[in-house]
Structure 1
Amino acid sequence: MNAAPTRQQTIAFGASGFPAQLLTQTFSAFVVYFYVAQLAVPAAWVAGAMIAHGILNAVLNPIVGTLSDRIRTPWGRRVPWIGVGIVPLVVAFALVWMPPELPAAGLIVWFLLVVAVYDVAFVVVVLNISALFPEIFRTTDERARGNTPRQIFAILGMVLGTAGAPVLYSTIGWAAMAVVLSAVCLVLFVWSLLGGMIERPAPAEEPKAMPWRDQLRYTFRNRAFVPYVIGSLFVQTAIAVILAAIPFYVRYSLNSAEGNSSLLLGAIFVTAIPSIVLWSTVVRHTSPRTAVLWSVAVFGVAVLGYLAPSTVLGAVLVGVGVGVGVGGLLQLLEVMLGQIIDDDAMRTGHRREGAYFGVNGFVVRGSVVLQALVAAAVLTSSGFDATLADAQPEGVDSGIRIMLAVIPLAFSALAWICFWLYPIRSRDV
């Protein structure tokens, strides 16, 4: 492909966002519940396995990304990885929910082995899809338009992964749920691969592959990438803290049924879909830096609203404002990273999308750790005690509101400072 992608190619490429988020959200939301509550595996064992999963996933990102940049085939750099990885990915995902009848020790071994295959295949497929994005869409205008359907598909995948999975496993069982979701993901991945993942021709004379040491040196010395990746970590942590705090907020601050958590989450995600189009227009008329600064500011101010509501309806209205900021962050961060990759290519002569997306994935995984530390610190210091059910100490309500509003605002402020230091002020490199 030498020209700008067509609308059909753009939509097909964007369809990959749906299965990627569907797999991610279903796994993260329900796998611990499935193995602990349904299969009676000790919670400590599952926690250890999840830590191993997180470490493996983080380490794989820069390794796979760098290899993807270096390896050349007649079919391109990225597409072969994606084509080879799709089937193992969806099969491994299905097998996570279909363990054989084994004692607890055998089940945890099954979990570790299957999830290791899932992690490798997930990073191989999703990282290379991400690395294709700044190559297929070459300017800020193209990237803003091209990322819009991708993020809309991604939000729909999030919704199905968090809201649709319980409906399926409660009606047709866990194994059947796994088969249905895996089949949906396979169809959408194949459509996206065949219809939208087209690599641009390689230069007639490519430069010699960059040594591994130089890969790391140029990446971490990049004056644009360092504030970007730290800002991204803070943004992802803020969002992760909000998602973790909402169930506590609904039950212990709003004194409402746990099921109403879906209303608060739905307000965020439903609002994020049209706001993606809004932020796409903003970045096409300003620059990635300016648009990101505005979106972080909107997000940070909006989350502070969670301090006030005493009803579910009030919290839902706050979630509408939060969703506007979330839509901007989903839309703009990859546009900004594409700009960093363009700038790096001008400086080094190498297109290193894989390395940058890989290192970004490695660093941003730290948001899971930060979110867990925040939740543990706030709940412990506020006196939360699960054995007391709804009869919690008075400080729990205040602590949860701080966790949902003030702490995400603090992370947003840190992110805003990082993005303010981002040195590329123009719309295109």
Structure 2
Amino acid sequence: MTSLATRLRERRLDAAPSRSQAITFGLSGFPTQLMAQTFSAFVVYFYVTQLGVAPAWVAGALVAHGVLSAVLNPLVGALSDRIRTPWGRRIPWIGLGIVPLVVAFALVWMPPALPPGGLIVWFLVVVAVYDVAFVVVVLNISALFPEIFRTTEERARGNVPRQVFAILGMVLGTAGAPALYGWIGWAGMAIVLSAVCLVLFAWSFWGGMVERRVPEAASEAMRWRAQLAYTFRNRAFVPYVLGSLFMQTAIAVILAGLPFYVRYSLRAAEGESSLLLGAIFATAIPSIVLWSWVVRRTTPRTALLWSVSVFGLAVLGYLLPADVLGAALVGVGVGVGVGGLLQLLEVVLAQIIDDDAVRTGHRREGAYFGVNGFVVRGSVVLQAIVAAVVLTASGFDASLGDAQRESVDAGIRAMVAVVPLAFTALAWLCFFAYPIRSRDV
């Protein structure tokens, strides 16, 4: 009887992926975003309010988490490109990383009975394992995308299910997690979500993650120094990654500012910020299909410029509404732009990787996705700086509650409209400088 290892070794993709393979590969977007969103939305709340850890300690641990994740991206990407096994370059990383990833995610929410200092040590150790496993699994899944789907046509179609599943994972991570921990407790939530993630990762791994037969000369490993030199000298990658950083920052600023916007500008209940987020995500799902149609009839560069323009014009609308309904309608327009960015950014990066392979003779998906992941991590820092500067300059004072100065309303509206527009304009200029103007390399 053929062993599992042998069956994995013999799996190779020689033609275009089937619709079933594309959907199954896309399933990986759901557990990826489910874990990421649950962690980012609730880990501070859990450790501070439920376990009694000092906020400053949690903040320090999260800074360490961010630094480790940023450093791991280019390192793991370069190693993934260099390693050669009978099972391929990406598959072993993913197969070995899935179980540690979901176990570490569960353990974040299931600490033993320890004093605050011990809880921080637990947090640092478990999150370090989670970070390593997350980067190993998710980066290698991303690196498979340009390999499985080889043309703009294939990538435009193949990225639709992946991004739709990713948005559904975001929604469950932000809206479903509170319902679960309110019903069965934090440990129960951890077990349920981890089980769901394990099943979906395994299903996607077995049914949709397949490597191609790459000629030996084209798969020859490149030295580390040459990896970095070629990556940062790539005339298409530099404007792309800067544009991606600016767009990620614009979105991060909006998401961070919406709770302030709802309470202090719209004078509505804090919980109604979910309506504004819902408007964005609900519109982004069908918009992914729209932008798939657009890019298949134009070029990745043209479609990306259009989607960035739609996003930039839409965010200006946040200056005007006086109620939640008006702001939700603005969110519909923002969601159209977000759907385009979700659909197109990876399609464009895959085109850059194809161009690099033509120039160097090497397929270096891991290096490009790794360096991209390292750079766009800067959006978290930029978002925090923007929020601190705007709130301070506008005279925001948390001790005043809802009785803030009039300048606070203007400052918050600027934070969710004018500042994202400025970052969007910078991104548009970067993407305008993107030199690949054909559909395929």
1:144-190 alpha-carbon deviations (Å, 9 max, x no partner): 00000000000000000011111111111111001111011011100
Is 1:325 the equivalent of 2:337? yes
1:347-369 alpha-carbon deviations (Å, 9 max, x no partner): 00000000000000000000000
Distance 1:187 1:12 in 2: 12
Instruction: Pick one of 177, 181, 192 that aligns with 1:180.
Output: 192
1:369-423 alpha-carbon deviations (Å, 9 max, x no partner): 0000000000111111111111111111110000000000000000000000000
Q: Which residue identity lines up with residue 159 of structure 1 in the other structure?
A: V
Is 1:149 the equivalent of 2:180? no
Q: Please give the residue correspondences for 1:110-259 in structure 2 after superposition, counting only pairs within 5 Å.
A: 110-206=122-218, 208-259=220-271
Instruction: Pick one of 1, 7, 11 that aligns with 2:23.
Output: 11
Question: Which region of structure 1 is more displaced relative to structure 2, 58-67 or 34-43?
Answer: 34-43
Is 1:35 the equivalent of 2:42? no
Structure 1 residue 206 displacement after superposition? 4.3
Is 1:401 the equivalent of 2:413? yes
Q: Which residue identity lines up with residue 81 of structure 2 in the other structure?
A: D
Aligned to 2:427: 415
Q: Which residue identity lines up with residue 109 of structure 2 in the other structure?
A: W
Aligned to 1:307: 319
Distance 1:257 1:326 in 2: 25
Distance 1:115 1:344 in 2: 34
Contact 2:73 2:374 in 1 (8 A): yes
Is 1:293 the equivalent of 2:305? yes
Aligned to 2:116: 104
Structure 1 residue 37 displacement after superposition? 1.1
Say which SS state the counterpart of residue 173 (structure 1) adopts.
Answer: helix
Distance 2:107 2:417 in 1: 38
Q: Which residue identity lines up with residue 296 of structure 1 in the other structure?
A: V
Instruction: Pick one of 293, 296, 311 that aligns with 1:284.
Output: 296
Q: Which residue identity lines up with residue 57 of structure 2 in the other structure?
A: W
Aligned to 2:398: 386
Distance 2:68 2:29 in 1: 22
Structure 2 stretches lacking a partner, 5+ long: 1-12
Aligned to 2:100: 88
Say which SS state the counterpart of residue 112 (structure 2) adopts.
Answer: coil
Q: Please give the residue correspondences for 1:348-363 in structure 2 after superposition, counting only pairs within 5 Å.
A: 348-363=360-375
Query: Cα gap change, 1:130/1:207 in structure 2, threshold over 3 Å: closer, same or farther?
Result: closer
Q: Which residue identity lines up with residue 320 of structure 1 in the other structure?
A: V
Query: Cα gap change, 1:264/1:79 in structure 2, threshold over 3 Å: closer, same or farther?
Result: same
Q: Which residue identity lines up with residue 251 of structure 2 in the other structure?
A: I
Structure 1 residue 208 displacement after superposition? 3.9
Distance 1:49 1:150 in 2: 31
Distance 1:192 1:157 in 2: 15
TM-score, normalising length from structure 2? 0.97
1:82-101 alpha-carbon deviations (Å, 9 max, x no partner): 00000000000000000001
Distance 2:238 2:200 in 1: 34
Aligned to 1:364: 376
Distance 2:209 2:413 in 1: 44
Q: Which residue identity lines up with residue 375 of structure 1 in the other structure?
A: A
Structure 1 residue 204 displacement after superposition? 4.1
Distance 1:289 1:76 in 2: 31
Distance 2:403 2:219 in 1: 66
Aligned to 2:72: 60
Distance 1:187 1:426 in 2: 39
TM-score, normalising length from structure 1? 0.99
Aligned to 1:342: 354
Instruction: Pick one of 275, 294, 297 that aligns with 1:263.
Output: 275
Say which SS state the counterpart of residue 156 (structure 1) adopts.
Answer: helix
Q: Which residue identity lines up with residue 411 of structure 1 in the other structure?
A: F
Distance 1:204 1:397 in 2: 61
1:26-54 alpha-carbon deviations (Å, 9 max, x no partner): 00000011111111101110000000000
Q: Which residue identity lines up with residue 157 of structure 2 in the other structure?
A: R
Contact 2:100 2:130 in 1 (8 A): yes
1:86-142 alpha-carbon deviations (Å, 9 max, x no partner): 000000000000000110000000000000000000000000000000000000000
Q: Which residue identity lines up with residue 58 of structure 2 in the other structure?
A: V
Is 1:22 the equivalent of 2:28? no
Q: Which residue identity lines up with residue 347 of structure 1 in the other structure?
A: R
Distance 1:206 1:136 in 2: 16
Distance 1:209 1:339 in 2: 20
Contact 2:218 2:363 in 1 (8 A): no
Name the count of aligned residue pairs.
429
